[in-house]
């Protein structure tokens, strides 16, 4: 039986929908929820590295973390407000989002991952690159919310 659900959040519209779906599902089946946000590494094209100083890259990484931390905080507040009887834990990690989401699901023995169909990246297809890679790599069911 499904007892633990991992919810990937990034502040996008789709991740907010995924959170709401996961809250309803968890209530129906009395499952625990953990919210996870992953701060991706700062990616620069090779020629940009020579233009930007290392302090600028570090500042960018800090600001990125602040934004993801804020998204996680807001998601946790939404969960607590909608379902105050639930214990919802929250976790922030740094690295490649798909790798961290799948790794956390396996390490924490989660029965399901719930995430939005698209995140904060550019629109390339109906399914975002992170959600697509999570579906490919995860050993547990992945529920994609559109």
Question: pTM for the full model?
Answer: 0.89
> What pLDDT sits at residue 103?
98
pLDDT-derived band at 120 (thresholds 50, 70, 90) equals low
* pLDDT of amino acid 64: 93
Pairwise CA distance, residues 83 & 97, whole Å: 27
In residues, how long is the chain? 146
Predicted confidence (pLDDT) at residue 127 exceeds the cutoff of 80:
no
- In sequence order, the β-bridge partners of residue 4 are 32
Pick the more confident residue, 21 or 124: 21
What digits encode the pLDDT tens for the residues 28-77?
999 999 999 999 988 766 555 555 567 777 888 899 999 999 999 999 99
What are the tokens at 31? 């499952």
How far is it, in rounded angstroms, from Cα 116 to Cα 127?
9
């Amino acid at each position: 039986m499904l007892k633990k659900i991992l919810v990937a959040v990034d502040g996008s519209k789709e991740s907010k929908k995924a959170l709401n779906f996961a809250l309803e599902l968890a209530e129906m089946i009395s499952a625990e929820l953990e919210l996870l946000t992953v701060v991706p590494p700062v990616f620069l094209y090779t020629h940009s590295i020579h233009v930007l100083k290392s302090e600028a890259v570090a500042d960018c990484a800090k600001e990125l973390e602040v934004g993801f931390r804020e998204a996680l905080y807001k998601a946790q507040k939404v969960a607590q407000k909608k379902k105050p009887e639930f214990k919802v834990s929250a976790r922030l990690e740094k690295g490649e989002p798909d790798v961290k989401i799948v790794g956390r699901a396996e390490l924490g023995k989660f029965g399901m991952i719930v995430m939005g169909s698209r995140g904060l990246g550019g629109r390339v297809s109906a399914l975002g690159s992170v959600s697509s890679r999570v579906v490919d790599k995860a050993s547990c069911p992945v529920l994609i919310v559109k």
